[in-house]
A and B are shown apart, each in its own frame.
Chain A
């Protein structure tokens, strides 16, 4: 299976749970599980090859110029992590099916889970770091949804926000770091970056890149000082905690450090930062975990501690330590996921996770007891379980670094033993109690099967490490250190009497004693003053929020005119700076002579504009002037060799003026004088400078000779696009993608108009509308007979003209835009002459549907070219001769133009129909009976039918 497909499957599958939940919870869980299973199978099919040392690659080039490619690769490290994500994911899906209550929306849960799963798989399989960053952000977002899944719980919401804030911030830093790295190497492909260790470490930007990348990794993996979000994220449902916060997401940071290990590690700064942070996190997490009474809190801090341990191993920087880190990742995932699931079971059955209220569950929940005990002992590092193996190797590595490291990890291990034993002793052992919130008992097989499977793995890996995971550790370790030349290590229970064993024995012994005197230590712990991370975090967030508020209030004081003035003035100033900074004299191009005709047009335009300015308070007059200006412009287009523009401008002018007139009907007809002379002077100055600037700029442009891609369009129009009207060919073919975007924008504007009006007519404004009284005296004849007859006679003619303009568009001025406007005008006239009801009654198709049909037709035309192996919107054309007609062209671009046509008609009509809809709600009586003149009504036959 292609790697891209493996990464895409969970995303595609995320659609399923929402659909399948209607078929029941079992079906929903099965569908989700199947998606994961298919992806896992696809992954495992690659496993033999990867374990043989091969690296599997899938490359999808998207924008190679920008280095944006969807490249995936699978080596040992990717295999290990993808296997963990999909394998444990499968178990979590099973477990969640039984964990979630009936009232929990299960479809949503599985959708979020699959989204998260896809993002995680994406991270570990990405070969392109830009792609990796996208998946990285997606894990932050999807985990936010999962942590806040119980949205009725304030802790859930707060925990989700905190996790998002911290990991999101780290994600931003990571983007910076990765981009620097890509810049140093000159490639965004991981496989290339990983081969350039020397280049990266000698670069001046190595330290900033390292710091930023580590910030991303530390926040994700909850390393000190960013460890505080993880325990708060435990407000999530337990399956989420088990999946995200033990097995996968928090390991993304580790993955990143392991992935970048070959190029980033080995320097002093790497050692001190990574090993240092890891060591502190490990010891601190272990100490705090011991004093947590919440089972999940205990496990959360123990996870923090173990993540610290692995980080420290990666930080040490030797090859062996890296291999040990890999081994511990595997072991930790198995025993910690199992422990989380048992904690969930206890919570589910006893209705509490508070250790102080538990105890004595051994006989009540024997199965859970066995599972939790084995997993805990593995976490404590007791032989012969897998936790012991990696912990021994870790102790040995730390001892090799120096005495201080050895001492610290022994202390960490001691607390680790103490809290692991506490999970057994204080929860399961001791006397049975009478005051459990619910009567605890073992859950059904479905719920304990998943942790049981993991516990079996814990034991088997412990007993037969080489058989179980030997090859995987070797391949993964090789991938981390970036060479197949592995250092010597041995996965075995017995390594003889050595320092590590001594440290281990000391840790277990002291750990037992610590637990023995737990009440005493607890009292000391509770008396000690500690900085509370959440309070600091909240204060910080509050500070930011207040700052943002202050800034927003200062900038947005509700005076829109002020924003507009500031924006325009800035645009003018920036434009002036740029304009004056460059060469801006007139060019050498020979100017056209000014003849009489354009001179008249110029004077007309100037007068009309000045009148608009002068008398704009009379709104109707201003509108008339706007129409005059539009007409002059369209004549100007025609004069200056742009027939298509002239036609478009003319028809747009008509609909714009109708629209503005209709709107003005409900608006005040006069603008009062409000602004002070000073203000008018200010606005006049801004406007004047803007006008001068535009004049100067345009004059400078027009007087220079120019070169353009248009010459290519002119050459290729007929041979390549099959049309002689180059403007139309550009619209529907060369730059069809632009046009496609434009009609979508137009459609959105129309639908937006519909939405605004619709919302208003449902709101309190309806009463105001109903009380509306027109402030104009109206003509007595509402639907003048002559106009009604004339528009109806014109309609077929106008429609024919529309079709004609449409059809000739490819070769002569015309096309979908213009035809759409012409047809709209013909239809509008019916509305105006015969009234809304009459026209609406004869309207067969919903305008929304027409817009949608237009866009879909245009899109399908574009997609159609894919089937011929051509890029989106490539056009094809052929000439036919159907006697007795003249030669006849069929171009796929015509279909695209039909889409344009429909969208334009739909949008224009929808906008105007919405205005009439407002009219129907006013008290001003519109024609309730459609005003209709049916010529047949007078014929004898119609009269006969009537009787």
Chain B
């Protein structure tokens, strides 16, 4: 069972990272979402896997480790906040620039090297 979880998290991480490295915004958002799954499950699994031992004390013990669960719970909600933020960012940048490319159009180093504008007393 441990291997099942570990390999799933690994696969989700790999898929998340791969999509995150794509050149358009939407795959990056999807990749981040997958990465968030991986991280949440990772957090949870650090409390070790147990069957039928929910940390709810109306049942008899033993109970599984509740702390990683609590941390993962907030992490899931925060991950939603992050996904929402990045997808809106992607959307707004698309609507503003007309392109959903991640790189700037003139990401050629030679063009970028024009000196930045200085303050009043350059």
Give chain A's interface secondary structure class: helix
Q: Which of A622-664 contact B (CB under 8 A)?
A: 622-623, 626, 629-630, 633, 636-637, 639-645, 648-649, 652, 655-656, 659-660, 663-664
Q: Cβ of B22: which chain A residues have Cβ within 8 Å of it?
A: 561, 616, 671, 675, 683
- With contacts A157-B120, A641-B50, A655-B80 known, is A698 near B5, CB below 8 A? yes
Q: Which of B1, B52, B113 has the most CB of A within 10 A?
A: B1
Q: Which of A560, A612, A640, A688 has the most CB of B within 10 A?
A: A640
What separation, in Å, do the CA atoms of A763 and B93 have in the docked complex?
Answer: 12
Which B residue sits closest to A633, measured CB to CB? B37
- With contacts A699-B2, A727-B73 known, is A694 near B13, CB below 8 A? yes
Q: Which of A689-739 contact B (CB under 8 A)?
A: 690-696, 698-699, 701-703, 706, 708-710, 713-714, 717-718, 724-728, 730-731, 735, 738-739
Contact with B along A728-755 (1 / 0, CB 8 A): 1011000100110010011001101100
Candidates B3, B41, B92, B107; contact of A765 at CB < 8 Å: B92
Contact A666 B2 (CB under 8 A): no
Q: Which of A587-609 contact B (CB under 8 A)?
A: 589, 591-594, 598-599, 602, 605-606, 609
Q: Which of A396-451 contact B (CB under 8 A)?
A: none
The reply on A891 being an interface residue by CB < 8 A is no
Contact A668 B108 (CB under 8 A): no
Q: Cβ of B71: which chain A residues have Cβ within 8 Å of it?
A: 735, 738
Contact A702 B45 (CB under 8 A): yes
- Distance to closest chain B CB from A667 (angstroms): 6
Contact B4 A594 (CB under 8 A): yes
- Distance to closest chain A CB from B108 (angstroms): 7
The reply on A154 being an interface residue by CB < 8 A is yes
Give chain B's interface secondary structure class: helix
The reply on A916 being an interface residue by CB < 8 A is no
Contact A158 B121 (CB under 8 A): yes
- With contacts A691-B14, A724-B56 known, is A749 near B82, CB below 8 A? yes
Contact B112 A642 (CB under 8 A): no
- Distance to closest chain B CB from A618 (angstroms): 11
Q: Cβ of A750: which chain B residues have Cβ within 8 Å of it?
A: 81, 84
Candidates B45, B74, B116; contact of A738 at CB < 8 Å: B74
Which B residue sits closest to A623, measured CB to CB? B30
Which B residue sits closest to A568, measured CB to CB? B17
Q: A613-B15, A660-B30 provided; 20 other pairs, C-beta below 8 A?
A: A592-B2, A599-B4, A605-B12, A609-B15, A633-B41, A660-B87, A671-B27, A683-B18, A687-B16, A687-B17, A690-B17, A698-B46, A702-B5, A706-B65, A724-B58, A739-B74, A746-B81, A756-B88, A911-B84, A914-B88
Residues of chain A having any CB pair with chain B under 8 Å: 154, 157-158, 538, 542, 545-546, 549, 552-554, 556-562, 564-565, 568, 589, 591-594, 598-599, 602, 605-606, 609-610, 612-613, 616, 619, 622-623, 626, 629-630, 633, 636-637, 639-645, 648-649, 652, 655-656, 659-660, 663-664, 666-668, 671-672, 674-675, 683-684, 686-688, 690-696, 698-699, 701-703, 706, 708-710, 713-714, 717-718, 724-728, 730-731, 735, 738-739, 742, 745-746, 749-750, 752-753, 756-757, 760, 763-765, 768-769, 772, 811-813, 817, 821, 904, 907-908, 911, 914-915, 918
11 pairs of residues in contact across A and B, judged by CB atoms under 8 Å: A154-B120, A561-B22, A562-B107, A609-B34, A648-B76, A674-B24, A727-B70, A728-B70, A742-B78, A757-B92, A918-B95
